Amino acid sequence: MANFLIILFIMSLIYVAKVEMVKSYFSLMAVQGIILFGLAYVELKENEIVQLLFILVETLIFKAIFVPIFLSRITKHKIHRHHSGPIKGYYSVLFSTAIIVISFLCGYMLHDELGADADLQAKYFTAAISSILVGLFIAINNRDLVTHLISYLVIENGIFLLSLALGSSMPMFVNAAILLDIFTSVLIMGIFFNKMKDYFQNTDSSQLSQLKD
Amino acid sequence: MLYSFFGLTAILSLTAYFVRSRNINHGITLAYVGLMGGLGYYLTQHVGKPLNDFFYCDTLGLIFYFILLLVTLVSSIHYVKFVTFRDIKSDVESLHNAGTIFFTGAIVGVLLTSHFGILWAFMEATTLGASILIYHNRTRESLEATWKYLFICSIGIALAFAGVLFLGLAGQQVSNIDFSFSTIRSVSTELNPVWLKACFLLIVTGFSVKLGLVPLFNVDIDAKDASPSQVGASLSSVLMNAGFIAIYRFYEAFSHTSILPWMNKLLMITGILSLFFSAVYILKVKNVKRMFAYSSMEHAALVMIAFSCGGIGYFAAILHLIMHSLVKASLFFQVSQMHRIYDSKLDEKIGSYLRVNPLGGIVLLLGFLSIIAMPPSGMLISELMMFQSLIANNYWWIAILVLLMVLLIIYGLAIKMLGIVFLKKSSASINMRGVTNFESVIQLVLIIIVFYIGLFRPEIIVQSINSAIESLPS
């Protein structure tokens, strides 16, 4: 089950790198939230019930429902298609696939360095590194501020997967930290995003060029 | 005690946000500084002891705590003058004071925690606090700087968190591990070096934005430019110290493992690259605030280079940070006055400053001499120690390279600063409204402290730094 969900997650990463309609991003974030919910349940069901509930609420309510709705609200009826960067369309698919393949190779090479539960860790490690790198790729490749927010969420999802590689050794601390991180950053970035939208009329980051040497 | 302090920080921050009366609002900020003074006294009685399960007070934390106290006090005094002159709206002022208290409280957490997870959480909190402060002017520039700072810092902090998780992966091979500094230090030799390297790399990358180093330095420069000068002063001094202490905690914990030479190489590369970028930008920059921001980057780079050499370099790095914090804060405070007089941050529109504002001109001149490490500046001592440590390690080529880049930076700074202080510029328009010597006197005191440290090397400072680095390998 976990393998199936990880494959789904990785497929969603390729799709996130390719998407052009802003609306699709929010659906994809919701899908990733649900996949992470499934993975957290499969891997952590042996944990204490309070910890498990906390993580499940975090993934399902926060990642799969709250964040996509919040982002959808702040961009409502204003932006339909984001400003794509230098690597467009299917080239993005190729690029993100290359990132995933490299992450697989890294995961394979580091297999022996991993702890006792090496197989479990290797698959999460690979998916996590793929997600972090694809997130960075999206941030660099796109000029739109909404896409920047999405890239940040993709990176955070990667870090959540990395925390699953730790199994049950510190889930409460990790998840409280991730929740704090996403909550504060997304909310505050959301607030500033609204201000930017009002000030600059659109959300193309190339307009952010006032500050220079 | 410490939990009460954080509780009171939250209460005072919220109160400052809701209170709209200017006098009460500033009173709250000063009351907070008083509270910090009380905590400072408590800390001096508990040096080297745990304060509770997650916090302890070591000498390094204490040194940076008192610098934080001093800079926050001076910054609060300058802000009173700033709002009077600029006619700032009461809600902006309230939010700024609330943000200052929150930001300062978060840095206190970074300085005093004994747990890697909590260290990370407080670093995240400094990002949020700093964003509030950077957005102060409500201009297009401040909005741009805030957005960039928030976004890049969030990514940096997320990467640093991945670093903490790598530490968790390393710790899985050891039973009963928690994330306290003492535990990690005691088991560090049993941890897998591959994960420790990955952890340290991500920590340096993530927290580089706080120190203003390569790779994430750009947003830090923009933030110092677009925010009020007293915010720039805090970012260039206390936040830089917080960034350093965060990296230092990981370095210290891993310093007795086989990755020590690798960590030193990483810090050396980061330092040299940062020095290179600061040299390039200082030569072309025209904006005085950005120039000082790049100068901070230069000094952060020198600190990293010195620290990576080990031995006497450790001492030099911490001494340099202490003095840089005081000098750079006073220079940023002085820029606030200069901006008031000339209504510009561009060096081509600022001239004859020594004649226009004699005491301010003296502050600027002495501050300039300090940052280029000219005698009697104490920074000369720390920079000499840095070169001494480079040569002691047989890094002759690096010493020459660093020297060349430092000379380029001195040239770039001298051309602009001497022009500002002495040259008459036709495009300069002068308005002396609201300029008093009081602010310059405070800044002068900060610079004189640095001269005093350089000339007399007070025993308390030397002992404190030696005590702070005694756990590091010689």
A110 in contact with chain B, both atoms CB, cutoff 8 A: yes
**Closest-CA residue in chain A for B218?**
A212
Closest CB to A195 among B117, B143, B172: B143
**Highest-confidence segment of A36-40, A114-118, A204-208:** A36-40
B172 in contact with chain A, both atoms CB, cutoff 8 A: yes
Local structure of B334: helix, strand or coil: helix
H-only helix segments in A45-144: 49-57, 67-74, 89-109, 118-141
Number of residues that make up chain A: 213
For tokens 């915010």, the residue is B231
A170, A199, A206, best to mutate vs chain B, most B CBs in 10 Å: A170
C-alpha distance from B158 to closest chain A C-alpha (Å): 7
Contact B216, B297 (CB under 8 A): no
The H or E element containing residue B49 is: strand B49-50
Distance CA B321, CA B273 (A): 19
β-pair type (B49-50, B56-57): antiparallel
B143, B159, B209, best to mutate vs chain A, most A CBs in 10 Å: B143
Q: Supply the ipTM of this predicted assembly.
A: 0.90
Q: Pick the range with the lowest mean pLDDT from A39-53, A197-211, B193-207.
A: A197-211
Query: B366, B385, B387: which is closest to B449 by C-alpha?
Result: B366
Residue of A196 and B226 predicted with greater confidence: B226
Contact B218, B153 (CB under 8 A): no
C-alpha distance from A189 to closest chain B C-alpha (Å): 7
For tokens 């609002």, the residue is B25
Residue of A125 and B463 predicted with greater confidence: B463
Burial class (CB in 10 A: 0-12, 13-18, 19+), A205: buried
**Closest-CA residue in chain A for B155?**
A152
**Closest-CA residue in chain B for A191?**
B147
Distance CA B67, CA B46 (A): 18
**Residue B413 tokens, joined:** 């700074």
A107 in contact with chain B, both atoms CB, cutoff 8 A: no
Mean pLDDT estimate for chain A: 82
Interface of A with B in 121-150 (CB under 8 A): 121, 132, 136, 139, 145, 148
Contact A14, A135 (CB under 8 A): no
Task: Say whether pTM exceeds 0.90.
Answer: yes
Query: A189, A138, A142, A135: which is closest to A161 by C-alpha?
Result: A135
Q: Which amino acid is at B42?
A: Y
Apex B217 CA angle, B213 and B223, nearest 5: 130
Q: Which residues of chain A make contact with B165, given a CB cutoff of 8 A?
A: 159, 162-163, 165-166, 174
**Tens digit of pLDDT for each residue in B143-159?**
999 999 999 999 999 99
Distance CA A63, CA A40 (A): 12
Q: Taking the CA atoms of A201, A205, A206 and A208 in sequence, report the sign of the dihedral they define.
A: positive
pLDDT of the residue at A174: 65
Distance CA A92, CA A87 (A): 6
Distance CA A145, CA A154 (A): 14
B142 in contact with chain A, both atoms CB, cutoff 8 A: no
Extract the residue ranges of chain B whose pLDDT is less than 70: 175-176
Distance CA A5, CA A3 (A): 5
**Tens digit of pLDDT for each residue in A137-184?**
999 888 888 888 899 999 989 988 988 877 656 656 666 777 777 777
- For chain A, the maximum distance between any two Cα atoms, rounded to a whole number of angstroms, is 56
**Residue B310 tokens, joined:** 């080990």
pLDDT of the residue at B110: 96
Interface of B with A in 407-436 (CB under 8 A): none
Residue of B107 and A85 predicted with greater confidence: B107
B190 in contact with chain A, both atoms CB, cutoff 8 A: no
Centre a 10 Å sphere on the Cβ of residue B89 and count the other Cβ atoms it contains. 12
pLDDT of the residue at A44: 78
